[in-house]
Amino acid sequence: IKYEGVALGEDVVKAQDKNRNVKPMDFSFLEYPDNYVDLIFARHSLEHSPMPLLTLMEWGRVSKNWLGIVLPAPEWYTYVGQNHYSVMNMEQIKHLLDISGWRVLWEDIKMLPPDKDNPDVLLPHEYWIMNEKKR
C-alpha cells in the first residue's frame, strides 16, 4: 500500500523521524491535484478543523472515490478541549458529509464504559464512517 500523510509543525518532524511518508501540509488546503488519491483515511482529525464543512469538501476534491473517518463521540470526549474545534454527534456529522458531497456507506459506533466503576454503562466512544464520493 502506498500512502502519504499530512501534518503540521512538530507532528511532521516526529513522523519523518520514524521514516513515515508525511508531508507538511494543512489538511483543509491540500497541495494535491483533483482526484489524486483513491482513499482518504482520517482518524481523529476532522474535530481539529475550525471549518469541517470546507475540510470535507477539500477531501472530496482530492479523493477519487473514498473517505474513511474515525471521529470522537462527544459523549466520551466532550465537545470542548483537547484542541478540538468541531466535535459533533452522529447526526451532525452525517449532515456535513451529505452536503459536502459524500454518501455514507457504512457506520459503526464504538462503545466503552465511562469508567471501571460502571462497567455496565456504555457510552459512545468513536464514530467510524466509510463514505463514497457522490457523482
Q: Is the dihedral of CA 8, 34, 100, 96 positive or negative?
A: negative
* Pick from 3, 5, 43, 42: nearest CA to 25: 5
Q: What is the pLDDT of residues 24-46, one digit of tens each?
A: 999 999 999 999 999 999 999 99
Mean pLDDT of 111-118: 86
Q: Residue 116 has what pLDDT?
A: 83
Is pLDDT of 119 > 90? no
Please report, as a single letter, which amino acid is at residue 39. Answer: L
Q: Residue 38 has what pLDDT?
A: 97
- pTM of the entire structure? 0.92
Q: Residue 65 has what pLDDT?
A: 97
Is pLDDT of 128 > 90? yes
Q: Residue 118 has what pLDDT?
A: 85
Q: What is the pLDDT of residues 52-101, one digit of tens each?
A: 999 999 999 999 999 999 999 999 899 888 889 999 999 999 999 999 99
Q: Residue 1 has what pLDDT?
A: 80
Q: Residue 94 has what pLDDT?
A: 98
DSSP assignment of 47-84: GG-S-HHHHHHHHHHHEEEEEEEEEE-HHHH-SS-TT-
Is pLDDT of 3 > 90? yes
Q: Residue 130 has what pLDDT?
A: 98
